[in-house]
Amino acid sequence: MPVFLDTTSADFETAFQTLLSAKREDSPDVDAAVAQIIQDVRSRGDAAVIELTAKFDRLDLTPETMAFSAAEIAEAVAQVAEDDRAALELAANRIRAYHEKQMPADHEWTDETGATLGWRWSAVSAAGLYVPGGLASYPSSVLMNAIPAKVAGVERLAIAVPTPDGQVNPVVLLAAQLSGVDEIYRIGGAQAIAALAYGTETIASVDKITGPGNAFVAAAKRRVFGKVGIDMIAGPSEILVIADKDNNPDWIALDLLSQAEHDESAQSILITDDASFGQQVAQAVDKRLETLQRREIAGASWRDFGAVITVRNLDEAAALSNRVAPEHLELCVADPATLSTKTLHAGAIFLGQYTPEAIGDYVGGPNHVLPTARSARFSSGLSVMDFLKRTTLSQMTPQALRAIGPSAARLANSESLEAHGLSVIARLERLND
């Protein structure tokens, strides 16, 4: 049973704090093992990756077979059903169109002193994308990570997709092809992250690594950060639905289950201003769990981390949502646009009862790689900005240096950085000759 909370109850604040502080992240003691794997890959390169792939994925590779060949990709892609291809192409086109609009512009101007200032955007040269593998892999994750990288202008994009027992999802390879991926390696785990970060004899290192993974992948991304950039350390999926009574309880139940079925540690929360409606949704969840294919996973998530919260009004609902800062936020209310202006902390907001979160996972257009574990309070979902760098530009004319140079020299002197000041003064003295 999920927890049922009511903001009018005397113990609500205590119960809500308990809900917020529930530890859902997997916490196996993997860091020491990951550190050893990374060091092994750094020391032995291909040999370490091949041995670890045989150990964990039961797949024997050679340096020549670590990457899928063009012929292998073509053969796999040919197996994809036409309807699946059409759906994937639709998703790719919408995701690309959305992210193209995110591209920032270079800017340059001359200020009142005559100095020319500005900034310029440029893409990272190479990026690596991790894709959870096997037959239970996610083609949508390929699109969501690879397309923004290519839109940003990344020249080389490599993906690592583990293929345990040699199994690969052909739709994943098609997604990579549609996204413009340049290299596809059949390796996974911490060893794949290490290979992408530090390089091996066969795999060239990258500048940034993105993509989801298990606890070993997350620990490896933490350890290589600094050597390369990373997108985020993602936790279990989560959804918060704010709904009034003028909704179909079964629809809302399915929205809650759409995240619960991801992971036993996922969290689904309903906030409503009608207690009776909350009960109807909970009953609808129970009924759907009788037949849902992933009912064991979804049921455990709903039982251990689900919640139904009754509030006095929608303003109170928005305030609670901001404290949760959910990965996904659905606003199934009469005026979702107005309510959305009050929900300030969420990875993605889905407005209205005809916008289920699942649309955002596949074909909406915005990215589905989003901040979890309340990190939407201070971070954003994946975008082209994750693959871009901003470089500032400045050019002084003689008159500009005369105008602002003396202040720079004084500030350098105040910090006891003599050479800093002298580098400016030497030029001013020449100008004053």
User: What residue has token string 């990344």?
Assistant: 154
Handedness of CA 343, 346, 351, 357 (dihedral sign): negative
What values do phi and psi take at 229, rounded to 5? -85, 160
The active-site residue out of 183, 238, 264, 327 is 327
Task: State the SS3 of 177-205.
Answer: HHHCCCEEECCCHHHHHHHHHHCCCCCCC
Residue 427: count of CB within 10 angstroms of its CB: 15
Distance CA(299)–CA(295), nearest Å, equals 5
Nearest residue to 158 (alpha-carbon basis) of 281, 61, 41, 67 = 67
Helix (H) or strand (E) holding 139: helix 139-152
Cα radius of gyration (the chain)? 26
Residue 215: count of CB within 10 angstroms of its CB: 16
What values do phi and psi take at 272, rounded to 5? -140, 155
Which two structure tokens, joined as six digits, stand for 202?
């066969």
Which two structure tokens, joined as six digits, stand for 34?
């990951």
User: What residue has token string 């205590």?
Assistant: 14
Give catalytic status of residue 328 as yes or no. yes
Distance CA(367)–CA(374), nearest Å, equals 18
User: What's the burial of 94, exposed, middle or buried (CB within 10 Å: 0-12/13-18/19+)?
Assistant: middle
Label the pairing between strands 388-395 and 116-123.
antiparallel
Which two structure tokens, joined as six digits, stand for 374?
């309340």
Give catalytic status of residue 107 as yes or no. no
What values do phi and psi take at 5, rounded to 5? -120, 155
Distance CA(376)–CA(232), nearest Å, equals 11
Distance of CA 351 to the CA centre of its chain: 21
The alpha helices in 290-417, defined as continuous H runs, are 295-305, 314-324, 336-340, 357-362, 398-414
Distance CA(407)–CA(395), nearest Å, equals 17
The active-site residue out of 328, 330, 357, 368 is 328
Nearest residue to 310 (alpha-carbon basis) of 242, 356, 239 = 242
Distance CA(199)–CA(87), nearest Å, equals 35
Residue type, 339: L
Residues with catalytic function: 327-328
